[in-house]
Copies of this chain bind each other. A is one copy, B any other.
Amino acid sequence: MTAHQPTAPADLSTETEVALERAATSHRHHELFSARASKIKQSAVRDVFDISLRPGLVSLAGGNPFLQSLPLEKIGGMAYKLVTEHGLTALQYGGGQGMEKLREQICEVMAEEGITDADPGNVVVTVGSQSAQDVACKVFCNPGDTVLCEDPTYVGALNTFEAYEVNVEAVAMDDRGLVPDELRRRIAEVRSAGGNIKFLYTIPNFNNPSGITLAAERREEIVRICQQANILIIEDNPYGLLRFDGQPIPPLRAGHPADVIYMGSFSKILAPGLRIGWALVPAHLQRRFYLASEAVTLCPPTLNQMLVSEYLDGHDWRGQITNYRDLYAERCLAMLSALEEYMPPGVTWTRPEGGFFVWVTLPPGIDTYPLLHRAIDAGVVFIPGAAFTPSDEPSNRLRLAFSAVAGDRIREGVRRLAPVIAEAIEAGTAERTG
């Protein structure tokens, strides 16, 4: 049991789940589990999924996009037309790589951010980008291999890495993202200890959970370091287009078609319930990647691909993204000003330029995991920082999501959270001085 997958506190876990886990290990079938099976744990994000739905509670936990501003009438009409007029295609099996037209449109989406040389033939449509991460591990990772990532990083990627039994090694970030010298140092360190590094997994824009963005001037250097070390880069960029102000920073993939597997998603710019993501794969890796993807799901859902394609064709999706940017910018501001107003001294937080999340740091020595309990009692939910790190240490950090909740509720949530944190700081101080 590693810290980033903490056991749910007793009252968060249902009795049934505990009983089932006991049954799993007592039954004779227990002998049949794979070595990896025991490493696949409940994500802390999922632990609080049900709790988040309790009425009255303010959930700053889940990074759900705010779908209210979508043109539902229009999308519904598209779905109707696809099924009634093109149902024999939309409801049938499709190719394992995804529909050609959608792959062409995905190249247009990527061009918005600065990837202008993408070939639709190198795009593989996947069941969300979670599935693309799974496929990347399948194609590159043997048990015991090493994967580098930011610390903190996306909990879902950590879950996938565990399922492939890889060693996850963190590279330090500062407020401008991954530190190139730290990357060099970690590569040397891991290699001198005999580690076999396969790729660097990075979320360069508005990192989940920290909200930190990798500075433009560091990007070339990061690619060059990995190139020289013969390490692939997995660039996970679901939030890139959701920058609050100014132009997007070109992805690491821009200008480096052979070095980066770029992963994108319609979950944040359209709708996660469609489960349509993609990978843009270097030409020399495309075939292996696509075949592995096909072996997992046969093909991505056809109706969903066509619906995304229709939406991109028939709606001002760029305008929709502008709406989202304005909305999330406003909510982020609401969160930052509430933090400013309510948080006790000694608490700091990031100021993201886009995305969904603010990362809050408490004084050293305070574990935010047990605080979750008290926060729920106070009527607010967050995700403890330990969920997002490959380290086994307790974390004095927590993630707050501003994406799904209106400004006044964000404010109320932070107001409820502040005394819980203040109390923990006082208790910590009392302990040290007592």
Seen from chain A, the residues whose Cβ lies within 8 Å of a Cβ on chain B are 16-17, 20-21, 23-24, 26-29, 31-37, 40-43, 46, 49, 62, 64-65, 67-68, 70, 72-73, 75-77, 79-84, 87-96, 121, 127-128, 130-131, 134, 138-142, 145, 156, 159-160, 162-163, 198-199, 230-232, 258, 267, 270-275, 282-288, 291-292, 294-304
Contacts and interface: CB of A to CB of B under 8 A. Distances in A.
B46 A72 contact: no
A37 B140 contact: yes
Given A46-B294, A79-B80, A156-B298, A92 B273 contact: yes
Which secondary structure dominates chain A's binding surface?
Answer: helix
Contacts of A285: 24, 27, 29
A326 to B, nearest CB: 20
Given A37-B292, A88-B68, A130-B297, A49 B95 contact: yes
A46 B94 CA distance: 11
Given A29-B230, A139-B37, A303-B304, A284 B46 contact: no
Given A84-B73, A232-B29, A296-B130, A37 B91 contact: no
A286 B20 CA distance: 8
Contact of A275 (B75, B141, B288, B297): B297
Contact of A288 (B33, B141, B273): B33
Contacts of A62: 93
A283 B131 CA distance: 26
A49 B294 CA distance: 13
Given A70-B91, A303-B274, A40 B84 contact: no
Contacts of A291: 40-42
Contact of A295 (B34, B68, B134, B232): B134
A87 B72 contact: yes
A3 to B, nearest CB: 18
Given A28-B230, A32-B230, A295-B160, A72 B92 contact: no
Nearest to A198: B32
A81 B76 CA distance: 7
B91 A274 contact: yes
A288 B92 contact: no
Given A285-B29, A296-B131, A138 B37 contact: yes
Nearest to A259: B29
A422 to B, nearest CB: 32
Nearest to A122: B20
17 contacts: A27-B258, A29-B284, A32-B230, A34-B141, A34-B142, A43-B294, A46-B96, A67-B88, A67-B92, A73-B84, A75-B91, A76-B79, A79-B82, A79-B83, A91-B272, A91-B274, A296-B296
